[in-house]
Chains A and B, each alone.
Chain A
């Protein structure tokens, strides 16, 4: 025990001397979690809370173009600027010049076409019901369109969401036109007030609920996703410090001396595991504390700590052991420090990419989703998501626990084989 304590003290002394390693292990994850959470939260707010800069060029001679513009303004989603003098030729240039993310061009016959189409559809319906004569005069259906121009920096998913929203507004206007037309055909001057009021109300609400056991009714947010995910990524990045440190020690000659001291070598490996286990768990503790205590002051959603602290500890411990064992494996097989750093960091980036840290797994093709199961980061994330997002039961953690245990044992076994071949143990 005294020997192990001596090895642990030596490891702590070495780690305290490695300023770059400490920065990589503690500062980098904090920055990563901050940046990614802020970026994702802003992107979410861009759609949900923030106002998109919108230029409207309304050339409509009727009143529906103005009504459409008013509805968009009323949604509060747009910082709307009208430019009646602009035309179809200048709108592209104006979009960029005025730094608008999108511009909408409403043509001069927009109202006429929308009313005409509503009238046409109404006539078909009433004829079908036998309420009017099919030979009575009516306008034909015509193609009605508005044009949308966007800044190329606007990503496809935002564009897609925006177009859907605009289409919803247009559909509701078309429906309103059709109902109004029906009432006109029935001899009313306008739609009765109580029906108008009823129509303006949403008939069906969408209630959003997370499919987790219980998170106090809160909906998972960018913090709940990002803090665990990027903490795992940062934890595995200890490969640069631990893996590199192992190669450096091996090449420096100290390992040769350790081989001449009974059981010193295996104690060195164990002490590294103990010290880096503390590093990994302290990384998580710091990052989770930042999520809980600091994020609310930065207008970011607060991290909700799972109800079961035991589950949190088990998943954290197993993830840390997987990261440590992988780092030691890389450090054992690498011939130079450059090799350990290069291979270690690239492999972690690849594990993170296929493991779903950067992009959700469900958007990946099937074969990548299968490959993802080989990534230890995927299983760490599965474990953390089960407790952070789903507030899951122990049986839901079986997969991550078994995989992480197997991964840890496999790494340690391969390390043992290599060290045995090299006569270190």
Chain B
């Protein structure tokens, strides 16, 4: 297998927490796949993505990236990673162009390429007509789309998406997934987490189900459903994690 990320004995225990928030013995993510991470609240999805993006440090263990034939730590592959957090991570007082220019320059992208890239991204997410309007005047769906566009400004080889479609209308959702499929077709590995399990069924090649910080199931959707005699991901998740409400 051509893995892009190898995780070995990765744990995270937050300060003042009694238990581990993440405890993964082994996980491999294959180059070019669309990998979904699902689980109830507090399962450890955001913690895993935060470690993989270098936002937080693991308590033990490590994740290795395989880019350009070499092993890398997360800090050395940051320029090849794209991250679209669940929270809006941009400056709402500025316009889409100002935001994209700023984040693009932080990646040291040459100006000519950057301007072309900005036009391409704004066109792809349908925001070309408002490129010089302040983002704080945008609807929730428009904000979600610019949040995605900023995460793509550096042409990432690995893209992390944390709930990219929360609060968006069906039109925005279709546009977002069309763009993600396009990127994936060009070779971008996508690691995706969401509570919209129907979306995941349609989008992901492979999924991992997390609960209490551990991977409880991993595989292709069809394989997981058939081996557990379930018809959809929601049924499978409830059967594995129970009906108890989570904090």
Contacts and interface: CB of A to CB of B under 8 A. Distances in A.
B106 A261 contact: yes
B78 A261 contact: yes
Given A7-B106, A254-B90, A423-B56, A262 B85 contact: no
Interface in B71-119: 75, 78-79, 81, 83, 85, 87-94, 98, 101-103, 105-108
A267 B106 CA distance: 9
B167 to A, nearest CB: 14
Interface residues of A, number: 25
B54 interface: yes
B53 interface: yes
A112 B98 CA distance: 89
Given A257-B150, A261-B78, A423-B55, A252 B87 contact: yes
A249 B106 CA distance: 17
A257 B107 contact: no
A14 B94 contact: yes
A193 B89 CA distance: 92
Interface in A36-57: none
A261 B74 CA distance: 11
Contacts of B79: 261-262
Chain B contact surface mostly: loop
B155 interface: no
A257 B101 CA distance: 14
Nearest to B98: A13
Interface in A245-261: 249, 252-254, 256-261
Given A2-B105, A14-B93, A264-B106, A257 B98 contact: no
Interface residues of B, number: 30
Contacts of A14: 91, 93-94
B57 interface: yes
B106 to A, nearest CB: 5
Contacts of B83: 256-257, 260
A12 to B, nearest CB: 11
Contact of A6 (B75, B101, B150): B101
Contacts of A257: 83, 85, 89-90, 103, 150-151
B91 A260 contact: no
B57 A423 contact: yes
A423 B14 CA distance: 13
Contacts of A359: none
Given A5-B105, A13-B98, 9 more contacts: A7-B106, A13-B93, A14-B93, A18-B93, A252-B89, A252-B92, A254-B89, A259-B53, A261-B103
10 contacts: A10-B102, A14-B94, A252-B88, A254-B89, A254-B91, A256-B85, A257-B85, A260-B54, A260-B83, A261-B78
Interface of B: 53-57, 75, 78-79, 81, 83, 85, 87-94, 98, 101-103, 105-108, 134, 150-151
